């Protein structure tokens, strides 16, 4: 009798475990589908499998560079310099496989000089990644310029065994439908994402914010906690 009950308990635990795993997988799939719906790119149309899926995975909406302060009047070059100065944090936010090649990377086309904002090589994707940074809302003409850069990188830098270079346009804001129309007939793989910086707190407001000690005192008073009990 005891053995029968034990077997039933085991089977019940197994059933519950499988059901829980299934629910979690459904949840993960729903989250992934939602995240995919926020992304704007032509990677799926311009890249073959499984490369297109890996490229889509590199996009976030938004990228969060919370180590760069959102100051009034901050310009693109200042943001770029801070991303490069904190390159380890930048790469952590970009994701797996990114290796920094250079910023304001020089290429020459027909005796004219051009400069890529930030150039990476992704060892997971086996391709160059050109990142262009705009401290404005996305505009359709931005896609044409990045398309030109990708053509040049593929011709000048790409090796025989590299995959096609991809572009990521980082903008302060982005309308998804506008981005999709802009990328629809672009022949190079490009993604458009927003980026966020850390919130800026004006100097005159800093002194008005409660300190860590003030917050701790308020918590102790609210919950009647004695000194030494709050960890």
| 36-65 per-position pLDDT tens digit | 555 899 999 999 999 999 999 999 989 999
The predicted structure's pLDDT at residue 30: 40
pLDDT band for position 199 (cuts 50, 70, 90): confident
| 94-125 per-position pLDDT tens digit | 999 999 999 999 999 999 999 999 999 999 99
DSSP string, 162-231: SPPPEEEEEEEE--HHHHHHHHHT-SS-EEEEEEEEEPP--HHHHTTSPPHHHHHHHHHHHHTPPTT---
Q: What is the pTM of this model?
A: 0.73
pLDDT band for position 203 (cuts 50, 70, 90): low
Q: CA-CA distance, 94 to 85, in Å (whole number)? A: 15
Q: Is 79 helix (H, G, I), strand (E, B) or coil?
A: helix
- Residue 113 bridge partners (DSSP): 108
**Mean pLDDT, to the nearest integer, of 68-86?**
92
The predicted structure's pLDDT at residue 38: 55
pLDDT band for position 228 (cuts 50, 70, 90): low
Name the residue among 145, 198, 139, 173 with its Cα closest to residue 61.
Answer: 173
CATH 1.10.10.10 fits 40-205, yes or no: no
| 180-191 per-position pLDDT tens digit | 999 999 999 999
pLDDT band for position 214 (cuts 50, 70, 90): low
């Amino acid at each position: 009798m005891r053995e029968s009950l034990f077997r039933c308990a085991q089977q019940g635990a197994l059933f519950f475990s499988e059901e829980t795993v299934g629910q979690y997988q459904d949840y993960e799939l729903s989250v992934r589908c939602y995240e995919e719906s926020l992304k704007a790119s032509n990677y799926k149309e311009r890249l073959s499998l499984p490369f297109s899926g890996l490229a889509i995975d590199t996009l976030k909406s938004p990228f969060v560079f919370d180590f760069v302060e959102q100051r009034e009047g901050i310009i693109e070059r200042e943001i770029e310099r801070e991303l490069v100065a904190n390159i380890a944090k930048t790469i952590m936010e970009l994701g797996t496989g990114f290796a920094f090649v250079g910023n304001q990377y020089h290429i020459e086309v027909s005796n004219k000089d051009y400069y890529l904002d930030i150039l990476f090589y992704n060892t997971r994707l086996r391709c160059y990644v050109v990142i262009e940074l705009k401290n404005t809302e996305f505009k359709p003409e931005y896609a044409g310029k990045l398309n030109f850069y990708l053509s040049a990188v593929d011709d000048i830098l790409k090796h025989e065994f590299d995959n096609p270079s991809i572009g990521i346009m980082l903008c302060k804001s982005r309308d998804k439908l506008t981005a999709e129309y802009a990328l629809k007939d672009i022949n190079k793989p490009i993604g458009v994402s927003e980026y966020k910086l850390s919130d800026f707190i004006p100097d005159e407001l800093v002194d008005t914010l409660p300190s860590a000690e003030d917050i701790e005192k308020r918590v102790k008073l609210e919950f009647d906690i004695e000194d030494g009990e709050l960890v």
